[in-house]
Structure 1
Amino acid sequence: MIKDILKEAETRMRAAAQKLEEDLAGIRTGRASPALVEKLPVDYYGTPTPLIQLAAISVPEPRSL
């Protein structure tokens, strides 16, 4: 029973660490990155849709999207 709990906890922790690593990869100090907002869900005709599927995201200046 304890081994099952530990195995489940390890699986969840690995998934959380991998997700954090993916999120942190998109952050760069001093520069705006389209990766910061491309996965934001937007209500599109009643369906949550990632922003990247609805619009082009550009970086006109280093500190603005």
Structure 2
Amino acid sequence: MRVQHCDMALQEKCSRNGHNIQKQNTKMLQYARYVQNSATILVKMRLAFPPALLYHKNNERERKKHPDL
């Protein structure tokens, strides 16, 4: 009888551990998705604002320094 009780307790503990691991995996997946979305947004922003536009003011300054270009 005692062995069976121990088995039940162990099974309960294992299932609880399994549940916790599942919860952790879900969190990890959510985080991975979040990181992926952030990266996609960053890439889209880079495409929306190419470096040429960001350095436009600098280019103006450079052109004034070297009018022959």
TM-score range, shorter chain: 0.3 to 0.5
More helix by share: 2
More strand by share: 1
Give 1 or 2 for the bigger CA radius of gyration.
2
Higher relative contact order (CA 8 A, sep 6+): 1
